[in-house]
Amino acid sequence: MSGKSFVVTSGKGGVGKTTVTANLGAALATRGNKVCVIDADIGLRNLDVVMGLENRIVYDLVDVVEGTCRPKQALIKHKKAEGLFLLPASQTRNKEAVVPDQMKELIGKLKNEESFDYILVDSPAGIERGFRNAIAGVDEALIITTPEVSAIRDADRIIGLLQAAEMYEPKLIINRLSLEMVKKGDMMDQDDIIDILSISLLGIIPEDEEIVVSTNFGTPIVFSENSKSAGAFRRIARRIEGEDVPISPAGEIEEGLMVRFKRLLGFNRKGPEHV
Amino acid sequence: MAKESSGAIEIKGYGNDVNIILNTEAHFSDVEAELVERLEDSHKFFSGVPIVLDAGERVLAPEECKRLKEILIDRFKLNISSVRSESDETRKAMREIGWETKPQQRRQRKRSFTLRMPAEEENDTILLKGTLRSGQRQWHRGNIVIIGDVNPGAEVVATGDIVVLGKLRGVAHAGAEGDTAAEIIALDLHPIQLRIAEYIGRSPDLDLKTDTVPEKARVEDGNIIVGKLD
């Protein structure tokens, strides 16, 4: 069986692409898959820091595509998860050091020669060359957005660009949803967001202060049992593997009384279908 | 290693990139021979560094352009970022073999103190002042002394020793062409990675060291050893 590759992208910066890539990679790996996470943000690499692997980098993505080393030599095995590997970006080069065709070739090699089950490509923010590189050669796209108008606007733009690149079924992950704020009516909920983007929802990750701590320590939060968001990442991993795990706000985050009450009264209902 | 150069080419650093400058008068076979000879020694050192091929006023025939490409890219795998030439004919020939060309005059010959790269003077030392930040790569054939900090994500590469009069938090590679006697010295040594010649040492995952005594790293029995500076 050949592996599956995903790009994790958002358009807007700071919505959590790197955090989602690291944690989803870790969650898939702890479920027994061989997973490769690729940092495509050449020149502004972060994934290595978030995963706590910065001090192990010798070769990087640019070295691999330029033929300075073999893919295997650049892959860094994660210290906590068997089967989780990082292909770091180069920090001293820029996006133009790689062209989309080279990414395509690389992902093919990783699937066939290194037999990865899942490959996650962490896309840089923006829609320029870095984004083009990140989407080249992947099978599917995961769109990350936060419940903010600006992030959703950019996600919408990205979905259009993906369609232009013949990727018609991107899946949505809503990051940093705060139940308290949704309850107060200060934040959009998942229905509002799906209304606008009209793509299928893969999961919701609750706002979680512990993410900041885990990021600073370079340990994906999936490894800490009791955090709010770790469960959400694990459920998304199961859905990626094809398991049918229902997505209800109650499953992702504790659904408050108010939300249910409002729903009963007919608020927060889906608006007219787009498209 | 210091060879008498015939002056058919010059290799110089300006700003962030390296220029390979072809002499206008020299015979092409001399250019070719010297290029091969100089790169034989140093091409690994240039790995990844953007290089500008500066043909100046020299007019290059299409075959000559092809030959240059063979040497620079196919043989030594250099990263040629652009070609600079004042001749329309040369630029056309360069474009035909797929090189990006720039018509402008050479960059100002203001000597960049950060990147002077004399090929003939070994053990030359450069002094840098200021902070080297993430993504910046400072390399030099010889020794490097930095008065300032090297932040995480920054890289210092020297064929000789590296001395940081400040915090070394990034990656330092001393003896980059194989000199295992090279040393790395810093007032505050908390690097992500240290490399001396072909040896690599990485920082512990949980760096509990809080002291800031001056330290020195060197190779001992195939390992990079960090100790107090005495």
Task: Report, as an integer, the average pLDDT of A125-143.
Answer: 96
Lowest mean pLDDT among A87-91, A151-155, B48-52, B166-170: B48-52
Residues of chain B found within 8 Å of residue A57, distances taken between Cβ atoms = 193
B145, pLDDT greater than 70: yes
The CATH number of the domain holding residue B74 is 3.30.70.260
- Same domain, residue pair B141 and B56: no
Q: Please report the ipTM that was assigned to this predicted complex.
A: 0.75
Residues of chain A in Cβ contact (below 8 Å) with chain B: 43-45, 52, 54-58, 62-63, 66-68, 79, 90-93, 97, 218
pLDDT on residue B54: 85
Predicted local confidence at residue A98, as pLDDT = 95
Say which of A45, A52, A92 has its CB closest to residue B205.
A52
| B97 vs A144, higher pLDDT | A144
Residue B117 pLDDT > 50: no
Same domain for B153 and B208, yes or no, is yes
User: In Å, what is the CA distance from A206 to each residue of A176, A210, A221?
Assistant: 5, 11, 13
With CB atoms and an 8 Å threshold, state whether B202 touches A79: no
Q: What local confidence, expressed as pLDDT, does residue B128 receive?
A: 94
Model pLDDT, residue A122: 98
| DSSP element (H, E) containing A183 | helix A179-184
Check CB contact under 8 Å for A92 and B137: yes
Structure confidence at residue B103 (pLDDT): 62
Domain of residue B35, residue span: 9-102
Can you tell me the mean pLDDT for B116-132?
71
- The mean predicted confidence, pLDDT, of chain B is 82
- State the pLDDT at residue A250: 47
pLDDT tens-place string over residues A177-232: 998 899 899 999 999 999 999 999 999 999 999 999 999 999 999 998 888 899 99
Pair (B149, B218) in one structural domain: yes
pLDDT of A176 reads 95
Q: Look at residue A258 in the predicted model and tell me its pLDDT.
A: 45
**Domain end marker among B102, B134, B161:** B102
Which residues in chain B touch residue A61, judged by CB atoms under 8 angstroms apart?
A: none
Model confidence at B58: pLDDT above 70:
yes
Q: What is the spatial order of strands in the sheet that B143-147 belongs to?
A: B125-129, B143-147, B162-168, B184-189, B215-220, B223-228
pLDDT band, residue B181 (cuts 50/70/90): very high
User: Mean pLDDT of all residues in chain A?
Assistant: 90
Which residues in chain A are closer than 8 Å to B192, comparing Cβ atoms?
A: 54-55
Q: Report the predicted TM-score, pTM, of the whole model to 2 decimal places.
A: 0.71
**A212 or B207: whose pLDDT is higher?**
A212
Closest chain B C-alpha to A32 CA, distance in angstroms: 25
Nearest CA of chain B to the CA of A80: how many Å?
Answer: 12
Is B1 a residue whose pLDDT tops 70? no
Same-domain status, B135 and B66: no
Q: How many angstroms separate the CA of residue B30 from the nearest CA in chain A?
A: 29
Q: Considering its fold, how many domains does chain B have in total?
A: 2
Please check the confidence at residue A26 and state whether its pLDDT lies above 60. Answer: yes
Give pLDDT, residue B19: 82
Give, rounded to a whole angstrom, the gap between the first and last alpha carbons of chain B.
32
Please give, rounded to a whole number of angstroms, the shortest distance from the CA of A43 to a CA of chain B: 6
Return the pLDDT at B5. Answer: 57
B1 belongs to a structural domain: no
Band of pLDDT at residue B149, cut at 50, 70 and 90: very high
Q: Give the pLDDT band (50/70/90) at residue B203.
A: confident
Contacts of A63 in chain B (CB under 8 A): 48
CB contact under 8 A, A67 and B77: yes
Q: In chain B, which residue's Cα lies nearest the Cα of A80?
A: B205
Nearest residue, CB atoms, B135 vs list A43, A54, A67: A43
Burial of A226 (0-12, 13-18, 19+ CB in 10 A): exposed
Residue among B195, B182, B96 nearest B143 (CA): B182
In a domain, B110, yes or no: no
Domain positions in chain A: 4-265
List of chain A residues whose C-beta atoms are within 8 Å of the C-beta of residue B203: 55
Indicate if B54 and B133 belong to the same structural domain.
no
Q: Which residue has the higher pLDDT, A268 or B199?
A: B199
Distance from CA of B87 to the nearest CA of A (A): 27
How crowded is residue A236: how many other Cβ atoms within 10 Å of its Cβ? 25
Confidence class for position A167, pLDDT limits 50, 70, 90: very high
CB contact under 8 A, B202 and A55: yes
Nearest CA in chain B to A48: B153
**B135–A67 CB contact, under 8 Å:** no
The percentage of residues in chain A with a pLDDT greater than 90, rounded to a whole number, is 83
Per-residue pLDDT at B197 exceeds 80? yes
What was the pLDDT predicted at B119? 47
Q: Is the pLDDT of residue B121 over 70?
A: no
Q: Helix or strand or coil: residue B165? A: strand
pLDDT for the residue B44 = 72
Nearest CA in chain A to B190: A55
Mean pLDDT of A249-253: 52
pLDDT at A8: 98
Please tell me whether residues B139 and B214 are part of one structural domain: yes
Cβ contact A159:A76 at 8 Å: no
Q: Which residues of B touch A92 (CB under 8 A)?
A: 48, 135-137, 155
As a whole number of angstroms, the distance between CA A159 and CA B156 comes to 41
Q: Which of B202, B206, B224, B226 to mutate to test the interface with A (most CBs of A within 10 A)?
A: B202
pLDDT at residue B78, rounded to an integer: 83
Task: Indicate the CATH number for domain A4-265.
Answer: 3.40.50.300
Q: The CATH number of the domain where B142 resides is what?
A: 2.160.20.70
Q: Which residues pair with B125 in a beta bridge?
A: B143
CA of B81 vs chain A CAs: smallest distance (Å)? 10
Q: Which of B64, B87, B102 delimits the end of a domain?
A: B102
pLDDT tens sequence across B73-91: 888 888 888 888 888 888 8
One domain, residues B86 and B141: no
